[in-house]
Amino acid sequence: MTRIAYFGPQGTFTEQAARTFGEAEFISVETVPQVLAAVRAGEADYGCVPVENSVGGAVTATMDALAEDSPLIAIGEVILPVRFSILVRPGTQAEDIKTIASFPHGLTQVRQWTAENLPNAREVVTTSTAAAAAQVYDGEYDAAVSAPVAALHYPLEEFATDVADVRNAVTRFLLLSQPAALPAPTGSDRTSLAVVIAHDEPGSLASTLSELALRGINLTRIESRPLRGLYGEYRFYLDFDGHVAEQRVADALAALHRSSRQVRFLGSYPKADGSPSEPMPKNSDDDYAAARAWVTRIQEGR
Amino acid sequence: MTRIAYFGPQGTFTEQAARTFGEAEFISVETVPQVLAAVRAGEADYGCVPVENSVGGAVTATMDALAEDSPLIAIGEVILPVRFSILVRPGTQAEDIKTIASFPHGLTQVRQWTAENLPNAREVVTTSTAAAAAQVYDGEYDAAVSAPVAALHYPLEEFATDVADVRNAVTRFLLLSQPAALPAPTGSDRTSLAVVIAHDEPGSLASTLSELALRGINLTRIESRPLRGLYGEYRFYLDFDGHVAEQRVADALAALHRSSRQVRFLGSYPKADGSPSEPMPKNSDDDYAAARAWVTRIQEGR
Amino acid sequence: MTRIAYFGPQGTFTEQAARTFGEAEFISVETVPQVLAAVRAGEADYGCVPVENSVGGAVTATMDALAEDSPLIAIGEVILPVRFSILVRPGTQAEDIKTIASFPHGLTQVRQWTAENLPNAREVVTTSTAAAAAQVYDGEYDAAVSAPVAALHYPLEEFATDVADVRNAVTRFLLLSQPAALPAPTGSDRTSLAVVIAHDEPGSLASTLSELALRGINLTRIESRPLRGLYGEYRFYLDFDGHVAEQRVADALAALHRSSRQVRFLGSYPKADGSPSEPMPKNSDDDYAAARAWVTRIQEGR
Amino acid sequence: MTRIAYFGPQGTFTEQAARTFGEAEFISVETVPQVLAAVRAGEADYGCVPVENSVGGAVTATMDALAEDSPLIAIGEVILPVRFSILVRPGTQAEDIKTIASFPHGLTQVRQWTAENLPNAREVVTTSTAAAAAQVYDGEYDAAVSAPVAALHYPLEEFATDVADVRNAVTRFLLLSQPAALPAPTGSDRTSLAVVIAHDEPGSLASTLSELALRGINLTRIESRPLRGLYGEYRFYLDFDGHVAEQRVADALAALHRSSRQVRFLGSYPKADGSPSEPMPKNSDDDYAAARAWVTRIQEGR
């Protein structure tokens, strides 16, 4: 059976994300680097890790772990709404809830709901949203702010579901694999890269992005990270529409391989939202093939 | 006396950062948006907030809060090494430490040290690194992983200092003010912007960065954030060398004001590391003045 | 009375172009540099010279003369179709025409017509199309291939008019002046520049054109000329839509003044074809004023 | 024996240029289009035509003829100094010279020399510099301003050689062939293109040049020509360092094939001046091969 390692304890959003990829053996792993190590070692077939949170920003630990050591690639993404279930022991009423437990971010993201619905509950922090559920089950606290999936693991009751002060918050997860497993293009694909550019060359990032723009490639995300401490060289994480099996993307990657200090391919995979990633006019595979054929004819004097 | 509001409870790294800006009344404020609100309302003269963590990435909540509502500007930055003090009640020995308490990130960042030095201590989470110190003081737990400044507030003993598994981790903080207080250029300045660019125009980010590159402006950081949910328009946070009082920066800002959907000035302020930000050749204020004078002579037929 | 010096003998296309600028004293001058010298010395108010021929290309002598010595500016342009009149002495019939005279280019451009209409006429070259008319008047030759204006000076008869093998050939002329006379913008304006760029900096021309493109400026012509012999530095002649009184053009000129080795303004003047030269969206004078006002507010802390 | 058709009558500079390409049968052809037609039809193996004159600018007729009809390519270039021989019948003394004959441009380019050395000679125009030599030989005129090669055809005496008012004037000629004959790269090569770009897309020329600049390709010449009359689409003639057999050039050509309305390859050939055309760092054939291999490994999941 396929084994998917995921970051964090049982019952968190990452497990919930992992389960969207289908039937598998799901393995809880303590840290993101350990998830990656498990995939590299073949102890898991895939790893599921968070990469971006629309409230909290990039999950830098994941990005950095992907850019170092032996390469892994993303083969899928899932975007989950950040909506919590409030889990209680069966039969618990609002007036019974004296304590509400969660990871600090969980408490923060439902604070307004808590103030309105459980004004007398005292907040207590736990090491994860799942630990909160466990501690509610143990009778230590009264209510847990948890991922919905936590209810799979603990026989608790949903006091409320779909709870979130910020309505549009989402977290984006990637399913990682060894490089052999490149998924086929679907027409709704995203490609991720990590590119190292020298600090002391103004214009080198503009040039890098021009390599994408000139091929009509639509950038969907960029993050810079100083490479050593806050100064010196920079690493840029880029997400853009298209698949490395497509010529415009392959061509852009080759250009970045030449021009940047270093470039690492982090995967081409179906976009979670299914929005199309077709090429802009003049940048289809046919356009690339026609251009190459023309140049070959010239080179061969035909 | 100058009042500086800072994010978080007393005794955290943000208070430590705030104190580097000199003598002041320091006011602990619960959330980043509340710090900003205090400055906007004049309840504090300045606000101190984290913006970037070399381990955890951008502090998105701060960036987003700065990009919305009425404008504030950064007038200073400080970069603190993320090194913890392990605080205990006076007289505590290693063998006495059964529990070690902190905010989850604090526990994570010293886990290796803990494994080596306090292998038997059980981790317990608190709502902040400072709360850990308070709870150690109260006798609830035995050791706290705290910012060094916590020792100012609680009569605890430093069991260890300068503790950090990752040696180069730093956090970057900004000192915020109402717009009136633009600091004078120092020759080592940084300017921060938030720029909104349409999703559906490939090349518009490359053009934006070209406006900087063509003026020899050195970009030091870039982050994209989807504006509404994960799709649609994008906001880019840009940091670069130079001060808006300098012509090349003023000129670049004017260009971005014209070409982007929206641009917000987030401040020009001395860089924490004191590295020079002088213009590249052909981009000094004198070069700008000479160019403008030349055009004026042409326009006036002289 | 306004004095317009024009290149070449009386009765050529350049005189014809000069006459489109209105009532004046028209002064025939032997060479293009001498026309420019006459304007510089105040011996003529304006000078009329050819700059571009849709059959023969740039009139390099004119471009080079404009780029050197003390500056002159173009204040008007005229585009004349290259269509000849075949001039004969009154009463001459086709069968009387044994010789057809003109400047070599004139003969070349009507050769097909001649073959069809005067198959037996022998071609003879003269020093100009006007000299041909003079020599026909003197009885030396039978027919002259001349500019229509030649008929003003010699009492000859038009054997044929509107003669041209290539139907769309045109010549473009500029009216030159001392710099004081910058004409007001009309909404249909062209600006001309000479820009010197170093040979050994690949990308510097692309950067120069980016300064125009980023301001939505539409280039209508570009020519490079090696500066000394065929190698070393290059001078580029650029024509583009817009007037230096408009902010986008003034701003682009200032940028080129900073970034290029040398830039010379060669004039802003109404386009001969009256096609509009209005700014692209986001590049109007209002957009520039708004951007500048915004930056000033920032600089002043308002 | 190889047959080289050249533009113009026997004894002109074009014949002189053609003879630098080695032993051949040299065929005088009346017009540039007829030279091209002879090569296309196989009536000549090669054609020699002027393309650029450092005094008179581009030889547009040649450029336009190359851009239309079935493709030909340049396989060699020669750059000749424009220095005239003054040819006279044997025994002629300065005081005997009453008339000095040449094509108008020839007379113009030695006018200063004539004024100093033959102040009493009257200028007379002929249909070519070679015709002048012929008419001197016939006794019609006394001195001819001719290409040195004219002395091959007429038993005249060199009254003066190396005569030129402008010392650095040169003319550049191309040797044209059917496309099959692409010469091998020499390390000192030039490539010529004609590219059609739409008038109504500001920035498309900047993008085109960026395709060259991003590959470190050094542009040595650019000329724009309106395609139909003076307005509408534009054709750009580009010369740059490098050979289509080199990857950076092949890659740039493929990019222009995709992005431009139309692109025509006009040849890769050794530069007349022998200056090196090696790639900039990161743009060697090895860099291209390494980049492509890297992308292939990614695509194949290795």
User: Which whole number is the average pLDDT over C193-210?
Assistant: 84
CA neighbours closer than 13 Å in the CB half-sphere of residue D172: 25
Average pLDDT, chain B: 92
Q: For the CA atoms of A246, A247, A251, A253, what is the dihedral angle to 10 degrees?
A: 10
* Contact criterion met (CB < 8 Å) for A61 and B53: no
CA distance to partner chain D, nearest, from residue C84 (Å): 17
Coil, strand or helix at D52: strand
B182-302 CATH:
3.30.70.260
State the pLDDT at residue D230: 44
- Tell me, rounded to whole angstroms, the distance of Cα B160 from its chain centroid: 27
State the pLDDT at residue D227: 75
Q: What is the pLDDT of residues A68-89, one digit of tens each?
A: 889 999 999 999 999 999 999 9
Residue with tokens 């059976």: A1
The more confidently predicted of residues B275 and C199 is B275
Q: Which residues of A touch D182 (CB under 8 A)?
A: 298-301
The burial of D232, by beta-carbon neighbours within 10 Å (0-12 exposed, 13-18 middle, 19 or more buried), is given as exposed
Residue C231 has pLDDT above 70, yes or no: no
CA distance to partner chain B, nearest, from residue A149 (Å): 22
Q: How many C-beta neighbours within 10 Å does residue A43 have?
A: 14
Nearest to B84 by CA among B144, B131, B134: B144
Q: Which residues of A touch B127 (CB under 8 A)?
A: 104, 123, 125
For residue A65, the chain B residue with the least C-alpha distance is B55
* Contact criterion met (CB < 8 Å) for B291 and C214: no
C107 membership: H or E segment, kind and range: helix C104-109
Q: What is the pLDDT of residues C244-295, one digit of tens each?
A: 999 999 999 999 999 998 999 999 999 999 999 999 999 999 999 999 999 9
Residues forming a β-bridge with A30: none
Q: What is the C-alpha separation between C168 and C54, in angstroms, rounded?
A: 8
Comparing CB atoms, the residue among C123, C200, C228 nearest residue D168 is: C228
* Contact criterion met (CB < 8 Å) for A298 and D265: yes
Q: Would residue B227 be called left, alpha or beta, if left means φ above 0 and alpha means ψ between -120 and 50 degrees?
A: alpha
B-C C-beta contacts closer than 8 Å:
88
* Contact criterion met (CB < 8 Å) for C231 and D273: yes
User: Which whole number is the average pLDDT over B160-183?
Assistant: 91
Q: What is the C-alpha separation between C249 and C253, in angstroms, rounded?
A: 6
Domain D84-163 has CATH 3.40.50.150: no
Q: Which residues of D touch C58 (CB under 8 A)?
A: 57-58, 223
CA distance to partner chain D, nearest, from residue A38 (Å): 19
| C62-75 as b/e: b if 16+ CB within 10 A | bbbbbbeeebbbbb
CA distance to partner chain A, nearest, from residue D142 (Å): 50
Q: What is the pLDDT of residues B202-219, one digit of tens each?
A: 788 899 999 999 999 999
* Contact criterion met (CB < 8 Å) for B229 and A127: no
- DSSP class per residue in A78-108: EEEE--EEEEE-TT--GGG--EEEE-HHHHH
State both tokens at A73.
Answer: 């690639």
The one-letter amino acid at D270: P
Q: Architecture of domain B1-82+169-181 in CATH?
A: 3-Layer(aba) Sandwich (3.40)
The CATH fold of domain D1-81+168-181: D-Maltodextrin-Binding Protein; domain 2 (3.40.190)
Q: What is the pLDDT of residues B115-156, one digit of tens each?
A: 999 999 999 999 889 999 999 999 999 999 999 999 999 999
CA distance to partner chain B, nearest, from residue C265 (Å): 8
* Contact criterion met (CB < 8 Å) for B222 and A223: yes
Chains that touch B (3 or more CB pairs under 8 A): A, C
* Contact criterion met (CB < 8 Å) for B282 and C258: yes
State both tokens at D212.
Answer: 């060259």
State the pLDDT at residue C230: 43
State the pLDDT at residue A99: 97
Coil, strand or helix at D274: coil
Q: What is the C-alpha separation between A238 and A164, in angstroms, rounded?
A: 29
Q: Which residues of B touch C257 (CB under 8 A)?
A: 290-291, 294-295
Comparing CB atoms, the residue among B180, B257, B295 nearest residue C294 is: B257
Residue C202 has pLDDT above 80, yes or no: no
CA distance to partner chain D, nearest, from residue A109 (Å): 40
| D191-209 as b/e: b if 16+ CB within 10 A | bbbbbbbeeeebbbbbbbb
State both tokens at A248.
Answer: 């415009």
Q: Which residues of C touch D127 (CB under 8 A)?
A: 104, 123, 125
* Contact criterion met (CB < 8 Å) for D282 and A258: yes
Q: Which residues of C touch B179 (CB under 8 A)?
A: 298, 301-302
A98 contacts: CB under 8 Å, gap ≥ 6 = A120, A121, A122, A142
Nearest to B141 by CA among B175, B106, B169: B106
Where exactly are the structural domains of chain C?
1-81+171-181, 84-163, 184-302
> For residue B244, what are the CA distances in angstroms to B48, B252, B278, D42?
22, 9, 13, 67
* Contact criterion met (CB < 8 Å) for D168 and C60: no
State the pLDDT at residue B232: 60
Nearest to D277 by CA among D253, D241, D249, D246: D241
Which DSSP symbol is given to A278? P
* Contact criterion met (CB < 8 Å) for C222 and D226: no
Domain A183-302 has CATH 3.30.70.260: yes
Q: What is the C-alpha separation between A86 and A143, in angstroms, rounded?
A: 6
Q: Which residues of A touch D283 (CB under 8 A)?
A: 258
* Contact criterion met (CB < 8 Å) for A255 and D302: no
In this prediction the pTM is 0.92
Q: Would residue A84 be called left, alpha or beta, if left means φ above 0 and alpha means ψ between -120 and 50 degrees?
A: beta
Q: What is the C-alpha separation between D85 and A1, in angstroms, rounded?
A: 92
Comparing CB atoms, the residue among A250, A282, A302 nearest residue D179 is: A302
The more confidently predicted of residues C40 and B64 is C40
CA distance to partner chain C, nearest, from residue D118 (Å): 19
State the pLDDT at residue C232: 60
* Contact criterion met (CB < 8 Å) for C202 and D213: yes
Strands D231-241 and D219-228: antiparallel
The one-letter amino acid at C262: Q
- Torsion over CA: B56, B57, B62, B65 (sign): negative
A138 contacts: CB under 8 Å, gap ≥ 6 = none
CA distance to partner chain C, nearest, from residue D299 (Å): 32
Q: Which residues of C touch D229 (CB under 8 A)?
A: 54, 168, 170
Chains that touch D (3 or more CB pairs under 8 A): A, C
pLDDT under 70 in chain D at which residues?
54-58, 199-200, 228-232
Residue with tokens 């494994």: B115
Beta strand spans in C150-253 (E): 157-163, 170-177, 189-197, 219-228, 231-241
* Contact criterion met (CB < 8 Å) for A182 and D298: yes
End-to-end CA distance of chain D: 55
Q: Which residues of D touch C228 (CB under 8 A)?
A: 168
* Contact criterion met (CB < 8 Å) for A79 and B230: yes
Q: How confident is the model at residue C60 (pLDDT cuts 50, 70, 90)?
A: confident
* Contact criterion met (CB < 8 Å) for C57 and D53: no
Q: What is the C-alpha separation between C210 and B167, in angstroms, rounded?
A: 44
Which DSSP symbol is given to C280? P
Candidates 3.40.190.10, 3.30.1340.10, 3.40.50.300, 3.30.70.260; CATH matching C184-302: 3.30.70.260
Comparing CB atoms, the residue among B210, B211, B250 nearest residue C299 is: B250
Comparing CB atoms, the residue among C54, C126, C203 nearest residue D226 is: C54
The one-letter amino acid at D29: V
D106 membership: H or E segment, kind and range: helix D104-109
Comparing CB atoms, the residue among C103, C205, C219 nearest residue D104 is: C103
* Contact criterion met (CB < 8 Å) for A283 and D181: no
- Tell me, rounded to whole angstroms, the distance of Cα C135 from its chain centroid: 28
Give D18-30 as a 3 state SS string.
HHCCCCCEEEEEC
* Contact criterion met (CB < 8 Å) for D255 and A291: yes
State the pLDDT at residue D177: 96
Q: What is the C-alpha separation between D22 and C182, in angstroms, rounded?
A: 55
**At the fourth CATH level, which superfamily is domain A1-81+171-181?**
Periplasmic binding protein-like II (3.40.190.10)
Same fold, B84-163 and B182-302: no
Q: Which residues of D touch A244 (CB under 8 A)?
A: 295, 298-299
Substitution target in D258, D259, D262, D299 with the highest count of A β-carbons within 10 Å is: D258
Widest CA span of chain C, in angstroms? 87
- Tens digit of each residue's pLDDT, chain A (302 residues): 999 999 989 999 999 999 999 999 999 998 898 999 999 999 999 999 999 876 666 677 788 889 988 999 999 999 999 999 999 999 999 999 999 999 988 998 899 999 999 999 999 999 889 999 999 999 999 999 999 999 999 999 999 999 999 877 889 999 999 998 799 999 999 999 999 987 657 788 899 999 999 999 999 889 888 776 445 678 999 999 999 999 999 999 999 999 998 999 999 999 999 999 999 999 999 999 999 999 999 999 88
Nearest to A171 by CA among A240, A272, A250: A272
What are the two backbone dihedrals, phi and then psi, of residue B100, each rounded to the nearest 5 degrees?
-125, 125
* Contact criterion met (CB < 8 Å) for B244 and C283: no
Q: What is the pLDDT of residues C85-113, one digit of tens each?
A: 999 999 999 999 999 999 988 998 899 99
Q: What is the C-alpha separation between B152 and D278, in angstroms, rounded?
A: 65
State the pLDDT at residue C151: 93
